[in-house]
Amino acid sequence: MIWLIGWKTIIKRLWAGLHTCRRCLGHHPHDLQERTEWGTLFFVPLVPLRRERILTCSYCGLETRLSKAETGQFMEMAGPPDLRY
């Protein structure tokens, strides 16, 4: 019997809007994404292997990894998302 195993990354957008970047110090559009890597069997995601939350500046490309607690604090501080960006 042949077993088809592998992994798949699923990206979920949690927040988008204007935020001050740590590198370029400008007030530019940012995306907050949750990337989850899943173990798959026959192309069906079964087990989450790794989960990371990343805040990305769309101007300079700086990616900042956030913990779950930091993500909650950021979403409270940043306000409602503006998904136009």
Q: Is residue 4 part of a domain?
A: no
| Domain assignment of residue 8, yes or no | no
Instruction: Domain of residue 35: give its range.
Output: 14-78
Kindly state whether residue 56 falls inside one of the protein's structural domains.
yes
Question: pLDDT value at position 21?
Answer: 92
Q: What is the spatial distance between Cα 69 and Cα 13, in angstroms, rounded to a whole number?
A: 17
pLDDT of residue 59: 94
Residue 49 lies in a domain: yes
- Answer yes or no: is 19 within a domain: yes
Q: What integer pLDDT is reported at residue 1 of this predicted model?
A: 79
* pLDDT tens readout for residues 14-59: 999 898 999 999 999 999 999 999 999 999 999 999 999 999 999 9
pLDDT for 84 equals 58
For the chain, how many structural domains are there in total?
A: 1
Q: Indicate whether 79 pLDDT > 80.
A: no
pTM higher than the cut 0.85: no
Asked if residue 75 has pLDDT above 90, the reply is: no
Secondary structure of the chain as H, E, C letters: CCCCEEEEEEEEEEEEEEEECCCCCCEEEEEEEEEEEEEEECCEEEEEEEEEEEEEECCCCCEEEECHHHHHHHHHHHCCCCCCC
